């Protein structure tokens, strides 16, 4: 593998994203003789799942914060020895353009004008993973309230904690993983607050039986958490975070089957941090701008529609892993390999086909089990800021719906600025969609998938003639 | 137990950054946000409208809540910027009048 600054090489395949799906795809594609560009926004291989400390931190046992670390080490070693793979770290791809001979990816390496890079390839694989879904509640903008994935990410890469006594809340399997790592790293976790009752999983017993690895992973987390005295509060939610300049405690309430807080069940828990999240949202901006078809998953997110060969509905564009619906690292690894075989026009390997079948079934079960109930908005008071960037309170969103006639998230955005800020609606999008009563699972449109300096947009063909 | 002990970390000697005029230690390989968390600091921005404190939320460069001014340059996402010896970080008030860093 070459740490490449080469820009105008025509590749057989450009893989966007160096997490499980992208790593497996790049490795398999190189093994099939394809010339591969592995393009990633991060500074180290691994994506969010295999996120790990910088070498300067001298971590002897990074595996202690990971499941499946050996798979990552194996892939990393193979890619390091693969002459056909050019690794392009720190490249944020902001657009993909299709021409007569293939694709041109436009990427930016940083804020300085002229640091725009074009990568040309015959085929593109979108392996950009997912980001966390947030459902707002009063106090969620207080310092010390962090996303569950964010707490994981900061711990895995920076070896730091947001506090010493951390409540973990929301819904989904990430909560168990996050609580497990936080306690292992020395934090006290007084409670995991999970909105569902895990009963959804019982509907899929055959699926569970086919995924013993997932059960073992869950049991492993449960063992660790039990050892640390972590209390699991099911069918409950954090309905308010307290504090003035940082969080000092949370109020937890029981939820009914529709996720409506049950009056009189409130209970206060002291903490100096809260890690919260409600599942993951596929990151598919680049494909949506190209007109790729999407499907709505059981938990109301938009994922890319792919065929048995991981091909999207856009010719020449493949997708693997969380972009096709959130399902975890093992599924992403299998789909990455399957996509590589399809790009190379080779028959799909049986092992990965079987793994995908099992893991996709588990993903569907998981999504259904943790789908937000329709009445979660009951804990959003009018004063709660829904859009963190533009500081738009729920009151403004509700008024846009009830008094100004807005019927979908887009109209609400135009009337209130919710979703128009720095993050482009990544944090508030799902919540605004719910509060506006519009359809869920509709993909957001972001013509540029990350911030790009104007000077770089103004350049023609990636040349750097424009000076400051 | 702490995170460094858990993974058997043996980092090189700490660097020193300035946060609002106060010296804060940063381990080599940490981002500015990680160095501040390790020091117990979780807020380094004041919002434009409500004047409320904010810090890192998503931790992976998506939410832009962790913006601050670094070495005179506003709107830097501290969860992405590696800490360098002598970095000067100041709490950002409002929009900071700068272009977004990538």
Please state whether A405 falls in left (phi above 0), alpha (psi between -120 and 50) or beta.
Answer: left
Query: Where residue A29 falls among pLDDT bands split at 50, 70, 90?
Result: very high
pLDDT tens for B64-73 read 999 999 999 9
**With an 8 Å Cβ cutoff, are B56 and A154 in contact?**
yes
B25 touches chain A (CB under 8 A): no
CB A379 within 8 A of CB A254: no
**With an 8 Å Cβ cutoff, are B64 and A423 in contact?**
yes
A238 touches chain B (CB under 8 A): no
Q: What is the pLDDT of residue B98?
A: 53
What gap in Å lies between CA A103 and CA A120, rounded to an integer?
6
Mean pLDDT of A79-96: 95
Residues 58-77 of B with CB under 8 A from A: 58-65, 67
Please state, for a pLDDT cut of 70, what percent of chain A lies above it.
95
Q: What is the pLDDT of residue A228?
A: 87
Q: Which residue has 């009563």 as its token pair? A: A437
User: Distance, in angstroms, between B5 CA and closest chain A CA?
Assistant: 8
pLDDT tens for A235-294 read 999 999 999 999 999 999 999 999 999 999 999 999 999 999 999 999 999 999 999 999
CB A39 within 8 A of CB A105: yes
A161 touches chain B (CB under 8 A): yes
A334-355 in b/e form (b: 16+ CB < 10 A) is: bbbbbbbbbbbeeebeeebeeb
For chains A and B, CB pairs below 8 A equal: 174
**With an 8 Å Cβ cutoff, are B7 and A149 in contact?**
no
Please state whether A264 falls in left (phi above 0), alpha (psi between -120 and 50) or beta.
Answer: left
What gap in Å lies between CA A247 and CA A241, rounded to an integer?
6
Quote ipTM for the complex: 0.94
**With an 8 Å Cβ cutoff, are B62 and A146 in contact?**
no
Record the tokens describing residue A428, joined without a space.
Answer: 């508030």
Residue (of B32, B37, B33, B30) closest to B9 by Cα position: B30
Pairing of strands A249-254, A236-242: antiparallel
| Positive or negative torsion for Cα B62, B66, B69, B75 | positive
A442 touches chain B (CB under 8 A): no
What 8-state DSSP symbol labels residue A198?
S
**With an 8 Å Cβ cutoff, are B9 and A60 in contact?**
yes
Q: What is the pLDDT of residue B102?
A: 47
DSSP three-state, residue A331: helix
What gap in Å lies between CA A276 and CA A255, rounded to an integer?
16
Mean pLDDT of chain A: 92
**With an 8 Å Cβ cutoff, are A246 and B48 in contact?**
no
pLDDT tens for A177-189 read 999 999 999 999 9
Of A147, A159, A273, the CB nearest to B4: A159
Contacts B38 to A, Cβ<8 Å: 158, 160
């Amino acid at each position: 593998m070459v740490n490449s600054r080469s820009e105008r090489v025509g590749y057989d395949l450009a893989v966007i994203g160096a997490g499980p799906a992208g790593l497996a795809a790049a490795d398999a594609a190189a093994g099939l003789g394809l010339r591969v560009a592995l393009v990633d926004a991060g500074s180290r291989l691994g994506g969010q799942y295999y996120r790990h400390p910088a070498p300067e931190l001298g971590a002897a046992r990074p595996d202690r914060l990971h499941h499946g670390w050996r798979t990552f080490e194996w892939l990393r070693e193979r890619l390091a020895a693969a002459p056909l793979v050019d690794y392009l770290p720190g490249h944020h791809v902001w657009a993909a353009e299709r021409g007569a001979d293939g694709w041109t990816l436009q990427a930016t390496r940083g804020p300085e004008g002229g640091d725009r890079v074009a990568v040309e390839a015959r085929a593109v694989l979108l392996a950009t993973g997912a980001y966390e879904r947030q459902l707002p509640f009063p106090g969620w903008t207080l310092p010390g309230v962090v996303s569950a994935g964010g707490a994981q990410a900061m711990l895995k890469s920076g070896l730091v904690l947001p506090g010493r006594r951390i409540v973990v809340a929301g819904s989904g399997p990430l909560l168990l993983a996050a609580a497990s790592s936080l306690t292992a790293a020395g934090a006290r976790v007084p409670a995991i607050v999970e909105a569902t009752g895990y009963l959804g999983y019982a509907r899929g017993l055959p699926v569970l039986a086919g995924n013993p690895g997932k059960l073992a992973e869950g049991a492993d987390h449960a063992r660790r958490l039990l050892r640390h005295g972590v209390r699991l509060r099911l069918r409950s939610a954090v309905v308010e975070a307290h504090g003035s300049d940082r969080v000092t405690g949370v109020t937890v309430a029981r939820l009914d089957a529709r996720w409506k807080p049950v009056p009189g069940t409130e209970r206060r828990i002291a903490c100096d941090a809260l890690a919260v999240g409600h599942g993951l949202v596929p990151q598919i901006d680049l494909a949506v701008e190209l007109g790729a078809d999407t499907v709505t998953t059981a938990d109301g997110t938009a994922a890319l529609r792919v065929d048995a060969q991981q091909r999207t509905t856009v010719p020449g564009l493949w997708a693997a892993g969380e972009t096709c619906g959130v399902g975890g690292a093992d599924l992403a690894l299998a789909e990455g390999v399957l996509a590589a075989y399809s790009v190379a026009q080779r028959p799909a390997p049986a092992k990965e086909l079987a793994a995908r079948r099992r893991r996709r079934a588990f993903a569907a079960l998981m999504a259904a089990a943790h789908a937000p109930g329709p009445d979660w908005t009951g804990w959003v008071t009018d004063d709660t800021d829904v859009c963190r960037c533009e500081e738009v309170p729920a009151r403004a969103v509700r008024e846009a719906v009830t008094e100004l006639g807005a019927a979908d998230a887009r109209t609400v955005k135009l009337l209130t600025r919710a979703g128009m800020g720095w993050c482009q609606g990544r944090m508030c999008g799902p919540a605004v969609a719910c509060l506006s009563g519009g359809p869920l699972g509709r993909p957001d449109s972001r013509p540029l998938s990350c911030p790009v300096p104007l000077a770089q947009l103004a350049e023609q063909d990636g040349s750097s003639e424009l000076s400051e | 137990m702490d995170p460094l002990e858990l993974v058997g970390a043996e980092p090189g000697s700490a660097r020193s950054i300035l946060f609002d005029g106060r010296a804060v230690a940063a381990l080599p390989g940490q981002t500015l946000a990680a160095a501040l968390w390790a020091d117990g600091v979780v807020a380094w921005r004041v919002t434009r409208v409500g004047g409320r404190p904010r810090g890192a939320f998503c931790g992976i460069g998506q939410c832009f809540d962790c913006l601050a001014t670094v070495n005179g340059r506003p709107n830097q996402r501290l969860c992405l910027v590696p800490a360098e010896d002598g970095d000067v970080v100041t709490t950002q008030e409002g929009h900071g009048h700068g272009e977004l860093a990538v």
